[in-house]
Amino acid sequence: MADIKSTNRVATGFRKIAGLLAPIAISLVALGCSDQPETTPTGDLEGKSFVLVHGAWNGAWVWSDVAEQLEARGASVSTVDLLAHGDDMTPLTEVSLAKNAEQVRAAVEAAKSPVILVGHSFGGAVISQAAEARPKNLDRLIYLAAFIPANGESVLDLVQTDVDSALGPVLQVDAEKGIARVPMANLNDIFCHDCAQPELDLLDSKYRDEPLGPAAEKLTLTSEGLGSVPKSYIYTSLDRVISPSLQQRMTARVTLTRTATLKTSHSPFLSTPADVVATLADLGKD
């Protein structure tokens, strides 16, 4: 019986201590000092519609984590495998910028309007050309470490001005086959030097040579088409593919509603997908 009384006294003591600490714990939570992890917003992107377009040497697979997290927050998300990329087996000779843009236009028309159209790298040129024909279907364009060619300009024109890029010196061009190749020994360091090993392995396993034709095609853009769509840009400050200096030069020529900066490589959807999602969500809100 004595042991039971002793146990009861201890239990009573703990309850008293808990009662005294409870107001302190509540105050700490109110001040943001709780040890509980922050929760990801759920449903805050309900009604938002995203179409995500990848860049050169990539495929729709790069958006896997980003798309999943956007959908978890209530967004509708579509991704596009550009011709001869990812799982698409179109012969290289049949690929063109015009056909790429038509693919994206079809994805936009199939999605819930208005669409937030996102383009990465070469995908920036593709979404620009797609937006020219379907500006009224779009809520806005978001360029992620992307090329923004002007009217009458090609991606190749911009590439040739990027003296700070680490890609140019190692790029292997086979004009006869119409492809551009990144040596596997350089791929990871140039495209995703901040990636963990699983993402690097994925980048290696999904690699495909890039068709040259679309990058050499000049864009046809107007103020009534592309110029009428609001635009934002996400800079990647550690980029070794499209240098930060070229990103700044391109955006200096464009009217942007908002910008953001990620301290990442050229492939933040692989190295820090949660940061990409948070940034797209922020830029995509009214």
Per-residue pLDDT tens digits for 186-219: 999 999 999 999 999 999 999 999 999 999 999 9
Q: What is the mean pLDDT of residues 242-255?
A: 98
* pLDDT (average), residues 156-166: 97
Note the pLDDT tens digit of each residue in 163-185: 999 999 999 999 999 999 999 99
- Contact call for residues 205 and 230 (beta carbons, < 8 A): no
pLDDT of amino acid 170 = 97
Taken in order 252, 254, 255, 258, the sign of the CA dihedral is: negative
CATH of domain 49-284: 3.40.50.1820
Residue 13 has pLDDT above 60, yes or no: no
Neighbours of 206 (CB within 10 A): 15
**pLDDT tops 50 at residue 145:** yes
Kindly report, residue by residue over 21-43, the tens digit of the pLDDT.
Answer: 344 333 333 333 334 445 556 78
Cα–Cα–Cα angle for 203, 238, 59, rounded to 5 degrees: 30
Q: Is the pLDDT of residue 50 over 60?
A: yes
Please give the pLDDT value at position 79.
98
3-class secondary structure for 70-117? HHHCCCEEEEECCCCCCCCCCCHHHCCHHHHHHHHHHHHHHCCCCEEE
Confidence of residue 159 (pLDDT cuts 50, 70, 90): very high
Interval 104-129: pLDDT, tens: 999 999 998 899 999 999 999 999 99
Q: What is the pTM of this model?
A: 0.85
pLDDT given for residue 42 in this prediction: 73
SS (H, E, C) 109-146: HHCCCCEEEEEECCHHHHHHHHHHHCHHHEEEEEEECC
Coil/strand/helix, residue 204: helix
